[in-house]
Structure 1
Amino acid sequence: MEKVLEITSNDHIIMIDKLCKRILGYPEILGRIIKGFIKESKDVSLEEIIELIKGKKDQEGNSYFQQLNNVIDIAHHGRVEFDYLCCINLPQDDETMKRIYLDVEIQNVENPGYAPLTRGNDYLSRMITSQNGKEYDYRNYDGMKKTYVIWILPQAAKKRDGHVNRINSKLENISGSTIERLESYDKSEQIMIYLNKDHDIKDKYEDSDWIKTPLVIFLNNTYDLLVKKEVMKEYGFEEIEKEVKKMCNLGEMIARENIEKGHSIGLEQGLVQGLAQGQKLERITLIKNMMESLQCSMQRAMDVLKLTADERKDVEEYFKS
Structure 2
Amino acid sequence: MDSLYGYNNAQYDQHAKRLLASRKLLAEIVKKVVPEFHDVSTADIAEKYIEGSPQVGNIPVNPGLTNAVPSQIQGDRNEDGVPKEGYITYDILFHARAPGTGKPITLIINVEAQRTQVESTLGYHLMKRAVFYVCRLISSQKEREFEGKDYNSIKKVYSIWICMDSPSGDSYINHYKLEEKHLLHRYKEAVENYNLPNIIVIILGKKADKDKLIHLLQVLFNERKRSFDSKKKVLEQEYGINMTPDMEKEMTTMCNLSLNISEEAMNEGIQKGIKIGEDSALNRTAIRLLSMGLSIDDVSKGTGLSISTVEKIKDGMKEE
For the aligned pair, the TM-score class normalised by the smaller chain equals 0.7 to 0.9
User: Residues 112-261 of structure 1: matches in 2 within 5 Å?
Assistant: 112=119, 113-158=123-168, 160-161=170-171, 163-196=172-205, 198-200=206-208, 204-205=210-211, 209=212, 211-225=213-227, 226-233=229-236, 234-239=238-243, 240-261=247-268
Measured on the aligned residues, the alpha-carbon RMSD in Å equals 3.3
Displacement of 1:170 in angstroms is: 0.6
Provide the residue aligned with 1:101 in structure 2.
108
- SS of the equivalent of 2:184 reads coil
In the alignment, the residues of structure 2 paired with residue 298 and residue 26 of structure 1 have an alpha-carbon distance, to the nearest angstrom, of 36
Instruction: Tell whether 2:304 aligns with 1:313.
Output: yes
In the alignment, the residues of structure 2 paired with residue 22 and residue 300 of structure 1 have an alpha-carbon distance, to the nearest angstrom, of 33
**Cα distance, 1:249–1:315 mapped onto 2, change above 3 Å:** farther
Instruction: Answer yes or no: is the 8 Å Cα contact 1:25–1:84 preserved in 2.
Output: yes
In the alignment, the residues of structure 1 paired with residue 83 and residue 100 of structure 2 have an alpha-carbon distance, to the nearest angstrom, of 37
Q: Which runs of 4+ in 1 moved over 4 A?
A: 75-78, 262-266, 278-283, 296-302, 314-317
In the alignment, the residues of structure 2 paired with residue 219 and residue 287 of structure 1 have an alpha-carbon distance, to the nearest angstrom, of 19
In the alignment, the residues of structure 2 paired with residue 221 and residue 229 of structure 1 have an alpha-carbon distance, to the nearest angstrom, of 13
In the alignment, the residues of structure 1 paired with residue 307 and residue 210 of structure 2 have an alpha-carbon distance, to the nearest angstrom, of 29
Aligned length: 280
Alignment-mate amino acid for residue 145 of structure 2 = E
| Percent of aligned positions that are identical | 25
Instruction: Answer yes or no: is the 8 Å Cα contact 1:31–1:49 preserved in 2.
Output: yes
**Cα distance, 1:40–1:17 mapped onto 2, change above 3 Å:** same
Instruction: Answer yes or no: is the 8 Å Cα contact 1:263–1:282 preserved in 2.
Output: yes
Provide the residue aligned with 2:40 in structure 1.
44
Alignment-mate amino acid for residue 230 of structure 1 = K
In the alignment, the residues of structure 1 paired with residue 259 and residue 306 of structure 2 have an alpha-carbon distance, to the nearest angstrom, of 21
**Cα distance, 1:317–1:174 mapped onto 2, change above 3 Å:** closer
Alignment-mate amino acid for residue 166 of structure 1 = H
Alignment-mate amino acid for residue 35 of structure 1 = K
TM-score (norm: length of structure 2)? 0.75
User: Residues 6-85 of structure 1: matches in 2 within 5 Å?
Assistant: 10=7, 13-42=9-38, 44-52=40-48, 53=50, 66-75=74-83, 79-85=87-93
Structure with the higher helix share, 1 or 2: 1
Instruction: Answer yes or no: is the 8 Å Cα contact 1:40–1:98 preserved in 2.
Output: no
Displacement of 1:264 in angstroms is: 4.3
In the alignment, the residues of structure 1 paired with residue 295 and residue 311 of structure 2 have an alpha-carbon distance, to the nearest angstrom, of 14
5+ residue gaps in structure 2? 1-5, 54-71, 313-320
- SS of the equivalent of 1:67 reads coil
In the alignment, the residues of structure 2 paired with residue 140 and residue 54 of structure 1 have an alpha-carbon distance, to the nearest angstrom, of 23
In the alignment, the residues of structure 2 paired with residue 111 and residue 241 of structure 1 have an alpha-carbon distance, to the nearest angstrom, of 32
- SS of the equivalent of 2:165 reads coil
In the alignment, the residues of structure 2 paired with residue 77 and residue 187 of structure 1 have an alpha-carbon distance, to the nearest angstrom, of 27
Displacement of 1:167 in angstroms is: 0.6
Alignment-mate amino acid for residue 229 of structure 1 = K
TM-score (norm: length of structure 1)? 0.74
Displacement of 1:300 in angstroms is: 9.7
Displacement of 1:33 in angstroms is: 1.0
Alignment-mate amino acid for residue 40 of structure 1 = E
Displacement of 1:242 in angstroms is: 3.1
In the alignment, the residues of structure 2 paired with residue 93 and residue 289 of structure 1 have an alpha-carbon distance, to the nearest angstrom, of 50
In the alignment, the residues of structure 2 paired with residue 69 and residue 248 of structure 1 have an alpha-carbon distance, to the nearest angstrom, of 23
Instruction: Tell whether 2:292 aligns with 1:290.
Output: yes
Deviations 1:267-298 (A, max 9, x none): x749xx5xx7266554444433332xxxx567
